[in-house]
């Protein structure tokens, strides 16, 4: 055998062995485990997926959006189908025309792409639309029906398919475009940022585990009623929030309020309530659906719904349980004063002062200054200043405030009587 042939034959196994060793090293580097670890963004993502709402993850390149989706699909045991939106034509999502035997009689069907056929055959899966912000406007328009109606050409995606997309901000996207308002309004927008501790522990081989939320069957009716009451109550009081298209192009490509996005916010509120999710998770979801301002107003409505009834507090001020959070405590005290204003009498006035004393004893004293001033202004001439005010004097000097308020009320009554 010639020497060069012998040399090649003996070196081939050696080279293959070296590649096998390299492959073994790569396998060890890719080997990782998961652990249950609190992660508000991951919990918000899984909750939106459970609610069968399209989710759009916004984040800088390399932040881990794709890795999170791969881990989510593996944890939920869903086959992952990745479609890079920017490298497709509009016809890839609207369907390619296929001529039949007699187009005049049967029409021209729109053939779906192969990945959509695979999803239908599987009956379930996670459709990942990546690089959405680099898709040109024509492709974004073709995606509208896919995201909202789950249709591609003449094919209907099964209910077991969930849709998640990812995008980079236009400033960091390659030839990026702003999202069109109709497409943006179909998504729950989540800002995806890295957590230092999660990254460090993940590089060490342990990542957070994505799990679907556990919905409490006993809380489902309450969750639906609470969500509907909060959303309908807010929109009844603030009709301008029903539909508000932002004026700036950049903000139009994010979350903004519309009847469609309010319906999504209602759904997510019910899911978060039934799952017992934290306020942080709910805040990410509602602000990612209707925008920061309307979302925060909805959270405030939910907080007020959980506040104790002012009449209950006036009936038993000594046993009243006041909220710990300062803003909620302030709202409760203001509500008590308003209840006395609507139905003023001496026992209710005294009970309100007793409640303010309890508020000072169990929380920051500065929170009672405004409600105490308003309560003092309700004093009638034949109502003696209750002794409980003296217990507040050191904190807010309420005795003098009550006297001055009574004088101003008397003077105002005299002025109005002289007119």
In a shared domain, residues 240 and 200: no
In a shared domain, residues 294 and 191: no
In a shared domain, residues 298 and 187: no
* pLDDT under 70: residue ranges of the chain: 1-16, 99-107, 170-176, 388, 390-419
Work out how many domains the chain is built from and give that number: 3
Confirm if 409 and 379 have CB atoms less than 8 A apart.
yes
Domain span including residue 335:
310-418
Which of 183, 208, 233 is the C-terminal boundary of a domain? 208
Start-to-end CA distance of the chain, whole Å, equals 126
pLDDT of residue 365: 80
Longest Cα–Cα distance of the chain, Å, equals 128
**Is 25 exposed, middle or buried (CB count within 10 Å of its CB: 0-12, 13-18, 19+)?**
exposed
347 is a domain residue: yes
Dist. CA 162–CA 79, nearest whole Å: 10
Q: In sequence order, which ranges of 306-397 are alpha helices (DSSP H)?
A: 310-315, 326-342, 346-362, 369-376, 393-396
In a shared domain, residues 63 and 113: yes
10 is a domain residue: no
Strand 151-152 to strand 155-156: parallel, antiparallel, or no bridges (unpaired)?
antiparallel
* Contacts for 211 with CB less than 8 Å, ≥ 6 apart: 36, 46, 75
Which of 281, 305, 329 is the C-terminal boundary of a domain? 305
Task: Tell me which residue of 264, 293, 86 sits closest to 185, measured CA to CA.
Answer: 264
In a shared domain, residues 177 and 228: no
170 is a domain residue: yes
240 is a domain residue: yes
* Contacts for 13 with CB less than 8 Å, ≥ 6 apart: none
Phi, psi of 188 (to 5 degrees): -90, 115
Dist. CA 401–CA 397, nearest whole Å: 7
Which of 156, 189, 208 is the C-terminal boundary of a domain? 208
In a shared domain, residues 273 and 325: no
12 is a domain residue: no
9 is a domain residue: no
In a shared domain, residues 49 and 195: yes
**CATH number, domain containing residue 49:** 3.40.50.300
Phi, psi of 167 (to 5 degrees): -150, 150
In a shared domain, residues 68 and 197: yes
Q: Which residues pair with 167 in a beta bridge?
A: 58
Confirm if 383 and 418 have CB atoms less than 8 A apart.
no
- The neighbour count for residue 158, using CB atoms within 10 Å, is 14
In a shared domain, residues 71 and 192: yes
pLDDT of residue 398: 46
2 is a domain residue: no
Q: Looking at the whole model, is its pTM more than 0.75?
A: no
């Amino acid at each position: 055998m010639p020497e060069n042939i012998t040399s090649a034959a003996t070196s081939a196994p050696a080279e293959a062995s070296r590649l096998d060793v390299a492959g073994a090293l790569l396998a060890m580097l890719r080997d990782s485990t998961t652990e249950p670890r609190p992660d508000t963004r991951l919990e918000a993502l899984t909750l939106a997926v459970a609610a069968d709402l399209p989710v759009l993850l916004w984040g800088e390149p390399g932040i881990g959006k794709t890795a999170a989706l791969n881990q989510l699909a593996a944890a939920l045991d869903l086959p992952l189908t990745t479609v890079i939106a920017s490298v497709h034509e509009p016809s890839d999502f609207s369907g390619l025309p296929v001529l039949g035997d007699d187009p005049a009689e049967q029409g021209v069907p729109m053939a779906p792409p192969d990945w959509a056929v695979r999803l239908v055959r599987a009956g379930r899966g996670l459709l990942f639309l990546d690089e959405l912000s680099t898709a040109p406007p024509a492709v974004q328009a073709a995606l509208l029906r896919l995201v909202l109606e789950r249709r591609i050409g003449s094919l209907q995606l099964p209910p077991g398919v969930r849709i998640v997309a990812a995008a980079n901000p236009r400033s960091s996207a390659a030839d990026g475009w702003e999202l069109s308002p109709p497409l943006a309004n179909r998504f729950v927008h989540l800002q995806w940022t890295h957590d230092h501790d999660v990254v460090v522990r993940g590089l060490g081989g342990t990542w957070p585990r994505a799990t679907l939320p556990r919905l409490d069957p006993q809380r489902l009716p309450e969750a639906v009623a609470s969500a509907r009451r909060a959303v309908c109550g807010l929109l009844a009081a603030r009709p301008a929030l029903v539909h508000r298209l932002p004026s700036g192009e950049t903000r139009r490509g994010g979350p903004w309020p519309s009847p469609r996005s309010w319906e999504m916010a209602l759904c997510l509120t019910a899911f978060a309530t039934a799952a017992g999710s934290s306020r942080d998770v709910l805040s990410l979801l509602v602000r990612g659906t209707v925008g920061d301002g309307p979302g925060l107003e909805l959270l405030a409505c939910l907080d007020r719904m959980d506040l104790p009834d002012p009449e209950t507090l006036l009936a038993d001020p000594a046993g009243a349980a006041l909220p710990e959070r300062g803003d909620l405590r302030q709202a409760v005290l203001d509500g008590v004063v308003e209840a006395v204003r609507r139905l003023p009498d001496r026992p209710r006035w005294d009970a309100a002062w007793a409640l303010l004393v309890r508020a000072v004893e169990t929380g920051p004293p500065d929170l009672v200054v405004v409600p105490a001033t308003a309560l003092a202004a309700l004093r009638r001439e034949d109502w003696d200043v209750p002794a409980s005010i003296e217990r507040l004097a050191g904190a807010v000097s309420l005795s003098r405030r009550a006297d001055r308020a009574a004088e101003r009320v008397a003077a105002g009554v005299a002025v109005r009587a002289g007119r």
